[in-house]
Every structure is written in structure tokens, then in C-alpha cells.
Amino acid sequence: MNLQKLKEILLTIFKWIFICVLIGFFSGSASAFFLVSLEFVTQFRIQHQWIIWLLPLGGLLVGFSYYYWGESVVKGNNLLLEEYENPQKVIPLKMAPLVLLGTLLTHLFGGSAGREGTAVQMGGAIADQFTKLFKLDNSERKILIILGISAGFASVFGTPLAGAIFALEVLYFSKINFKSIVLSFLVAYVAYFTVEFWQVKHTHYNIPVVPEFNFSTLLYTIIIGILSGLAALLFSRNAHFWNSFFSKNIKFPPLRPFIGGTILAIAFAGFGLTKFSGLGVPVIVDSFSNSNPWYDFLLKILFTGFTLGAGFKGGEVTPLFFVGATLGSALSLIIPMPIALLAGLGFVAVFSGATHTPIACTIMGIELFGIQPGIFIVIACTIAYFSSGPVGIYKSQIVKGAKYKLYQKLQRKELENL
């Protein structure tokens, strides 16, 4: 290797390390600001429950902001997936402030939504701006999108390993090169430590008792995995249904969250269902120690799909945590395993099924709950992944790998039997 070639390699390495540091810092800082702001609006809503009646007004603000300024970024996470698969043009930076404002308004007035979509979109929009700055081609731009997703996910949940793998897995591994893997981990940790630097805390969960792994606990874990996969399937189908319903029946986009917000306000404030508004983190935490009614997870599925389908902003992952944790908690009444373990397994398994990312969800479970319940987490996430069907929460996600091949075989068999 001559000196010139070595110099080029070193410059390339330095360039990508520099890009990772910049993306990690800016995305992590954006997530830190978002988390602090989200906590503020959530506490304000909790202390002033009457504000839920203004949810239609919040919906109107979100609707008009995207109608006039955000038409090019309204697809959200799906836009990131589409640009990765078929690069067309740089994602507008306005995606970041629009989704930030939309999510804060959604949570201030009580919409049932999450937060990962916001952090991932902010990270993706920030990362893609470096395309022009460093004059990157389409293949290099794909790496930027991976880095943005990784940084956003890792920083908002405080799980750098899961964030790095999620960015790779959600875009399917077959098109990922080794450079992307290394850089995804690097940017995830930069973003994670940036949030730590700003002294923003994440929610902590605990599984104090883990039973012995034997045939009976294996059987129960498989049952949890299957039920979590079916819950994920229901969540995805419900979300797509309401999105299609509002699009077909209400032609003027700003009216969708206004009408949807009116119905949600009546349900939450009028019928005392405020536990299903917002993120629902207190309910998730409580699920690790107290059994939930069997219908809680179903109502969260309904309200989240309705909220996002109507055009409010946020994400699906924290509601998926809610669905999984409350499902596992309710099952503690009939499955003789520790309630915290059941809630924890549901927490990550429903997420696994809905996003087709069993590896990232397994790593997330270990990061959140420790290595001790690891074998249970692996099994539950894998079973949920295979039992959740071919359609996930992201319409533009391309499903590959073992699950894809399994459903292809099942479809061929169905055609042969006709």
C-alpha cells in the first residue's frame, strides 16, 4: 500500500468519525431537549386535566402546520425507510421542528402516542443534512440515514446497543455493510452520552425475581411470545386501518386531527379514560408490580391507532411498551410466573413483533432488565416476531430474512391447495 492510498483511507476514517460525532451530538441534544419538553407538557396535562378538552384545537394546530409547511415530510418514519431504499432527495431539515412541535402538542392535550418516531425523525433529518455538506453519494447517504435512526433511538430510550442494532435491523441486514455496522454503534453511543451530558434521565424498570428456566417456564414463555405477536399484529392492523379510514373519509387533512381529537377528548375526559392518554409511562411502571385489567392493552391499541391515524404526531414504540407490559401483567393472574418478568417479556416482545426487529428488542430487554432474564427475552421476542404476521407498524419497511421466507412458503402452500 502506497502512502497516498494510506492517506486516503485515514482521511475517510476521520471523516466518518467526525460525521458520527456531529450527528450523535446534535441528535442527542435534540432528544434531550425533546425529553425535557415532553416531561414538562406531560406534567402540565396531568396537573390540569381540563386541557384534554382542547385536544381538537391541538389537532387543528398539528393538522395546519403539516398542511402548509410539512407536506414533504408528513410520511415521517416511512419517509426515512423510503429514502434508504430508493434515495431521491435530501430529507428537509424542517422535519425535525415540525415533528417536535406536533408531538409536544399531541402530548400536551392528551393524545395517545409515543416518542421514538419523533426522535428518529429528528435524527434522520439532522443526519441527512450532511449529504450536501460532505458531498456524499447515494450509497454514503444510506449510511447517514442509518446513523440518524440509530442516534435518535439510542438517545430517546437510553439504550445504545439496541439503538444501533434497531437502525440496522429495521432496514434489513442484507443491504448493510460492515462500515455501517461500526458507525451505527459509534453514533449510538455518542448520542447516548450526549443525553447523559445534558443530565436527562430515562425511565428505569426492574425485574427483581427470575425463575429457574425449565420446561414449564419455557412453555409459558412461548405462550407469552405468541400472545405478544398477536397483540403486535392487532396493533399494526389497527393503526393502518385508522390511517386509511381518516384519509378516505376526511379529504381536508387538518380536519382529521380536529375530528379525531374531539372523539378522543370525549373518550378520555368524558369517560374517565385518561390513563390511556399520553405516553402512559406510569401505567407501564405500575404493570411491573400490579396486575392490570385484561382490556387495558386492547384500549391502548385502539386509542393509539386512532390518535396517529387521525394525524397527530409521536411514535408507536412507547404505546407498544404499554400494550406489552399491561398484557403481561394481566396474564400474571393465570400464568404462574413473576409479574415483573411477564410485564418485561410483553414489553419487548410486542415491540419485536410490530417492528420485525427481534435482535434489537432482545438487546433492549437485556439493556433495560439485565442479563438474568436474557433466555426468556430471547425466546419471547423470537416467537413474537414469527407470530405477528408479515405487516408491521411501518408500511414502507421491507421484511426480509427467516420471517419473510416462512410467509412466502405459507402463501405458496395456500395457492397449491386452491
Tell me the per-residue pLDDT of 226-246, one tens digit each, with 9 for 90 and over. 999 999 999 999 999 999 999
Please tell me whether residues 193 and 220 are part of one structural domain: no
Tell me what pLDDT residue 85 has: 86
Give me the amino acid identity at 3.
L
Give the model confidence (pLDDT) of 32-47 as tens digits: 999 999 999 999 999 9
319 within some domain: yes
Please tell me whether residues 149 and 12 are part of one structural domain: yes
pTM of the model: 0.94
Cβ atoms of 149 and 167 within 8 Å: the answer is yes
Please tell me whether residues 166 and 23 are part of one structural domain: yes
Q: How many structural domains are present in the chain?
A: 2
Please tell me whether residues 234 and 262 are part of one structural domain: yes
Domain final residue pick, 169, 197, 225: 197
Tell me what pLDDT residue 6 has: 85
Domain final residue pick, 171, 197, 223: 197
- How far, in Å, CA of 160 to CA of 151, rounded? 8
Q: Which residues of the chain fall below pLDDT 70? A: 1, 173-175, 398-418
244 within some domain: yes
Please tell me whether residues 32 and 143 are part of one structural domain: yes
Please tell me whether residues 155 and 13 are part of one structural domain: yes
Tell me what pLDDT residue 174 has: 54
- How far, in Å, CA of 218 to CA of 225, rounded? 10
Domain final residue pick, 149, 165, 197: 197
Please tell me whether residues 227 and 299 are part of one structural domain: yes
Tell me what pLDDT residue 81 has: 92
Please tell me whether residues 168 and 27 are part of one structural domain: yes
Tell me what pLDDT residue 239 has: 96
205 within some domain: no
Please tell me whether residues 173 and 228 are part of one structural domain: no
Supply 40's cell numbers: 414538562
392 within some domain: yes
48 within some domain: yes
Q: Distances in Å between the alpha carbon of 106 and those of 63, 74, 156, 285, 313?
A: 11, 15, 17, 22, 6
69 within some domain: yes
416 within some domain: no
Please tell me whether residues 11 and 154 are part of one structural domain: yes
158 within some domain: yes
Tell me what pLDDT residue 4 has: 82
Tell me what pLDDT residue 396 has: 77
Which domain CATH number covers 64? Answer: 1.10.3080.10
Tell me what pLDDT residue 64 has: 97
Please tell me whether residues 292 and 186 are part of one structural domain: no
Tell me what pLDDT residue 390 has: 86
Please tell me whether residues 32 and 179 are part of one structural domain: yes
Range of the domain at 107: 3-197
